Amino acid sequence: MVLDTECMEKVSVFLSAKGLEKIGMFSGKIDPFAVLYEVDPGNGRLIPMGITNVAQDQTDPNWTTTFVLNYHFEAIQEFLVKVYHNDGTALPADVNKVNLAKQHWIGDVRFRLSNLMCARSQKVTSTFSTDAKGEVIVRGEVMHNTRDNLIVTFACNKLINKEGFFSTSDPFIQASRMNEDGTWTVVWQNEHVNNSLNPRWAQTKISMASLCNGDIDRPLKFDIFDYEKSGKHVFMGLVNASVRDLISSNGAAMNVVEPLKQAKKGAKYLNSGTLHATYCYIEENPTFSDFIAGGCEISLVVAVDFTASNGDPAAPNSLHYISPVGTPNSYQQAIQAVGNVLEPYDTDKLYPVYGFGAKLKDAAGKYGAVQHCFPVYGGGLEVQGVDGILQAYKDSLQHVMLSGPT
């Protein structure tokens, strides 16, 4: 089946789960991760699309991984989500390098992309095909055409310690974006800082597509947690702010709030510390079309390798052999392939063509010293179009002796 690319849209897909059962009589924990597959409509083969992060000791994991899928309106696109319990080993980011046979399989769910995109709030909830407890939630959203990134340096001051008298919290930030139904989807998380109530994180780059789908006014939530190896991270407070809010704050303090404490203390409650976006801006990444629309011009310059390693042009096995029946050699094929792609972007269609690694025949028919940068055609004049390049190359073979070094 040929799919209509004009009807194709990019879709962000997020996975989460609820009510997963802890594994092991003694350990009593679960470290879940999920693998997303596309089901080949022809033969049912599973095509790996990616793998989530591992959510340590989480029965209700919100995986931060974003999957980007091509959504074809006219096609039946079926996907399979396999959920596993991690055996304790670090998982590579490339799903094809993960030995899933060593992981504890929990169960599968299937969904159609069309059903997801047509569902209310673009959310589908499914129970496992096995007897495993729990359910998997799949969310989808059409991606806006943005290649931009948010560059930001986060810092906190005077966070409230959650470790008691003899230790200090290890804070990290988790960012979530608001969905249409008012729920939140986790989209980003940074590394924890050990033993600090005034943590400073390294500058980070966050995809605007993942963070807010290119909408700088979209509500975001930045939860701050005290990291625990067990995965049972302790909530330290939150900040509600859009990308616009972060940028316009210019590094000023934003109150970190614990809602329960705020509700209890009322007007007496100020904050549980502050969050600062000390260096925050949007890094624009123009597309190729943006460069062209902005007046960028591309000039093609061709260089031909005439070193002896190409073989005697008179021999059929030479890369420079000119076939009497018109079959293009390797150089002619390369010139056509590259030239035909770039020609539309060159305004005057005039190309300089140079050669290297050959001795040139003079007017008397004698060959001089080897040269490594010489004009192939017309004493350095540019040639017209791809056909001109091909003709200049073909003519040059009558006037050069392949040489070295190669």
At 252-310, the pLDDT tens digits run 999 999 999 999 999 999 999 999 998 899 998 887 777 877 888 888 999 999 999 99
d(CA 250, CA 248): 5
Find the CATH number of the domain harbouring 163: 2.60.40.150
**Residues in a beta bridge with 186:** 176
Residue 352: CB partners within 8 Å, gap ≥ 6?
301, 302, 375, 380, 382, 383
Joined tokens for residue 205: 């780059």
d(CA 405, CA 289): 41
Would residue 288 count as lying in a domain?
no
Would residue 104 count as lying in a domain?
yes
pLDDT of residue 379: 56
**Residues in a beta bridge with 356:** 305
Would residue 179 count as lying in a domain?
yes
Q: Are residues 161 and 270 in the same domain?
A: yes
3-state secondary structure of 169: coil
* Placement of tokens 């060593």 in the chain: 102
Q: Are residues 376 and 248 in the same domain?
A: no
Give me the count of residues in the chain. Answer: 406
Would residue 289 count as lying in a domain?
no
pLDDT of residue 193: 97
Domain boundary among the residues 142, 174, 207 is at 142
Q: Are residues 255 and 378 in the same domain?
A: no
Q: Are residues 76 and 180 in the same domain?
A: no
Q: Are residues 271 and 340 in the same domain?
A: no
pLDDT of residue 5: 47
Q: Are residues 179 and 271 in the same domain?
A: yes
Q: Are residues 199 and 279 in the same domain?
A: yes
Q: Are residues 91 and 154 in the same domain?
A: no
- Whether the bond between 344 and the residue before it is cis, its omega within 30 degrees of 0, is no
Q: How confident is the model at residue 2 (pLDDT cuts 50, 70, 90)?
A: very low
> pTM of the prediction?
0.67
Number of other residues whose CB lies within 10 A of the CB of residue 366 = 9
Would residue 234 count as lying in a domain?
yes
Q: Are residues 189 and 122 in the same domain?
A: no
Q: What's the average model confidence in pLDDT over 115-143?
A: 92
Are 169 and 158 in contact, with CB atoms under 8 Å apart?
no
d(CA 163, CA 171): 11
Joined tokens for residue 289: 């079309």
Q: Are residues 137 and 158 in the same domain?
A: no
* Placement of tokens 């400073």 in the chain: 200
* Placement of tokens 């300089």 in the chain: 352
Count of domains for the chain: 3
Residue 345 or 145, more confident: 345
Q: Are residues 18 and 136 in the same domain?
A: yes
Would residue 291 count as lying in a domain?
no
d(CA 277, CA 190): 14
Domain boundary among the residues 126, 142, 158 is at 142
Residue span of the structural domain in which 58 resides? 5-142
Q: E-strand spans in 148-273?
A: 149-157, 171-178, 184-189, 204-207, 220-226, 234-240, 254-255
pLDDT of residue 146: 81
Would residue 290 count as lying in a domain?
no
Q: 331-377, pLDDT tens digit by residue?
A: 999 999 999 988 888 888 999 999 999 999 888 889 999 999 999 87
Separation in Å, CA 342 to CA 207, 336, 337, 375: 30, 10, 9, 21
Is the pLDDT score of 6 beyond 60?
Answer: no
Would residue 131 count as lying in a domain?
yes
Q: Are residues 172 and 249 in the same domain?
A: yes
Domain boundary among the residues 82, 116, 142 is at 142
Q: 182-196, pLDDT tens digit by residue?
A: 999 999 999 999 999
Is the pLDDT score of 389 beyond 50?
Answer: yes
Joined tokens for residue 186: 């986790």
